Amino acid sequence: MSKKKVLLVDAEQKVLSTAKKLLAPEDYDLFFAHNVEEAFDTISEKGPIAVVVTDNKLDTMRGTEFLTKLKSMEPDTVRILMTGHYDSQLIEDVVNTGEVFRFLKKPLDYKVVIRTLQAGVEENERILKLNAQKLEHAQLATEKTEHENETAQLGSTIEGLNKIKRQMVMAMIALVVVFGMFEGYTSWAKNRVMDDTSVQMGEWVKYTNGTALDTRTDLMWMTRDFRILERRQPNSWEEANEWVKKINLEKYGGYSDWRLPTIQEFEAIFNIEGKQMAYDQKPGFALGNPQAFESGGGYGFWSNEQMGLKSARYFFFVSGYSKTSLKNYNHPTLSIRLVRN
């Protein structure tokens, strides 16, 4: 089995020299870069890289920005950030965007570094294994669909032959009245099908009025969120509650009992296999939306759950987790989606 490739990026030569000396006994294929340009050249020439460890202070950008670009290029690479200073904005940035697997605090404790690298390599192996399983599942799903299509085509052929047989029998016995009734029923059934505009999507039923029903919970959801309908981001949790009143006055979908969902209701519809894109169409940031929802909305959605007087919770549909923030939290990724019983 080939060695796992590890890249360390730091502007300080002393850090790289020490790391090269202390990590040499470890079973890794080590690479070192002094700046962002060298790092990207190494990734391009030597990749795929299993683990990238970078300082947050680089020559042309912050380490968090570098890891964001790296994630879009190499989503399977595990990203570790070194920093001498923690602050709430840094932690919030990396948690919301999912760039960082672990932190390493400077000055470095190389015993911690070695343990963290091992954890990063194990995480990379887990990601690669999961990707292989997803590919296998996708192939199996494709084969299943092909078999279902063949079965449906065979059933259609048999049904067609049965119909011809019935028509011949009716013609032979000259049951004009029965034949006429059958023709009338067929026409009625076709018209009924044309009038039925709903679409079944697994356990969901999608309607043309901008709503979708989750048959597991009997809850109805808006298929379009605040960003799609209002073409902007909400500025606070308070605006989310005001928007509920507006939507109910307008009777969206013909209903006036819409409300903000609970975190548990969001968790119930989160689909880890979801592939929809948000408003900014960022590759690698697929949303865990149900298929019945429309693409182009936000990443995170306010819930109706308050935490004290100044905070409330929202649910993030990229990674499927909930978070508590101030009610006046105004972030570009947030949106609002309503539900009704």
Q: Among 37-46, 54-63, 163-172, 304-313, which is the least confidently predicted range? A: 163-172
Domain ranges of the chain: 4-129, 140-199, 210-340
Return all residues near 165 (Cβ < 8 A) that are at least 6 apart. none
Span 175-195, average pLDDT: 48
- Which residue, 235, 232, 255, 204, is CA-closest to 302? 235
Instruction: Flag whether pLDDT at 98 surpasses 80.
Output: no
pTM assigned to the model: 0.45
Note the pLDDT of residue 93.
66
Span 67-93, average pLDDT: 83
Instruction: Flag whether pLDDT at 195 surpasses 50.
Output: no
Note the pLDDT of residue 171.
81
Give the number of other CB atoms < 10 A from CB of residue 231: 8
Identify the H or E element spanning 212. strand 211-214
Note the pLDDT of residue 64.
87
Q: Tens of pLDDT along 202-226?
A: 999 999 999 999 999 999 999 999 9
80 vs 53: CA distance, rounded Å: 5
- Which residue, 280, 281, 278, 282, is CA-closest to 295? 278
Whether the Cβ atoms of residue 293 and residue 212 lie closer than 8 Å to each other: yes
Return all residues near 222 (Cβ < 8 A) that are at least 6 apart. 210, 211, 247, 252, 253, 258, 337, 338, 339
Q: Among 101-115, 149-163, 319-333, which is the least confidently predicted range? A: 149-163
- Which residue, 280, 286, 302, 315, is CA-closest to 234? 302
Note the pLDDT of residue 188.
46
Confidence of residue 194 (pLDDT cuts 50, 70, 90): very low
Whether the Cβ atoms of residue 261 and residue 303 lie closer than 8 Å to each other: yes
Select the more confidently predicted residue: 330 or 155: 330
Return all residues near 52 (Cβ < 8 A) that are at least 6 apart. 6, 7, 9, 39, 43, 67, 70, 77, 78, 79, 80
Instruction: Flag whether pLDDT at 284 surpasses 90.
Output: no
Q: Among 1-5, 38-42, 106-110, 302-306, which is the least confidently predicted range? A: 1-5
Identify the H or E element spanning 246. helix 237-250
Instruction: Flag whether pLDDT at 108 surpasses 80.
Output: yes
Pick the CATH number of 4-129 from 3.40.50.2300, 3.40.50.12780, 1.10.10.10, 3.40.605.10: 3.40.50.2300
Residue 260 DSSP SS3: coil
Note the pLDDT of residue 183.
58
142 vs 77: CA distance, rounded Å: 28
Select the more confidently predicted residue: 182 or 227: 227
Q: Tens of pLDDT along 57-71?
A: 898 898 889 998 999
Work out the mean pLDDT of the chain and round it to a whole number.
88
DSSP state of 244: H
Confidence of residue 99 (pLDDT cuts 50, 70, 90): confident
Confidence of residue 231 (pLDDT cuts 50, 70, 90): very high
